[in-house]
Amino acid sequence: MLHRGAENTVALDDGIEPSRGEAIDAASGALVVAASERGRHEYRLTVADTQIIVVPGLTEQGEVDRLDLHDATRPVCSHDLTAGG
C-alpha cells in the first residue's frame, strides 16, 4: 500500500473558478476530455477540498461513457465556494 501522494499521478488540468458549480463544471469537462483521450482509468478530481475518484463506465459499444462521466460529478456542487461551502 502506498501513502497518499505516492501514486503515479499526472496533473491534467487546474484552474480557479468563482463558485463550486463552475469549478465542478470545469473539472468534469476536463475529466471528459481526459477520458476521451486516455481511456478508461481511475481519475481523481479535487474541487475545493473535495476529492472525487471516478472510474468511467462504458457504453454498449465499449467506449467511455462521457455523458455519464459528466453527470457523475454533478452532485458535488451544492454550495458556493465564496460562501464557505
pLDDT for 32-41, tens place per residue? 888 888 888 8
Q: Domain map of the chain by residue range?
A: 20-83
Q: Quick one: average pLDDT of 71-85?
A: 54
Distances (CA, A) of 55 to 10, 18, 33, 43: 16, 27, 14, 6
How many Å apart are CA 68 and CA 71, to the nearest integer? 5
Statement: residue 79 has pLDDT above 50: no
Please give the pLDDT value at position 80. Answer: 43
Residue 18's pLDDT band (boundaries 50, 70, 90)?
very high
The pTM score is 0.68
Task: Find out whether 47 and 56 touch, Cβ atoms under 8 Å.
Answer: no
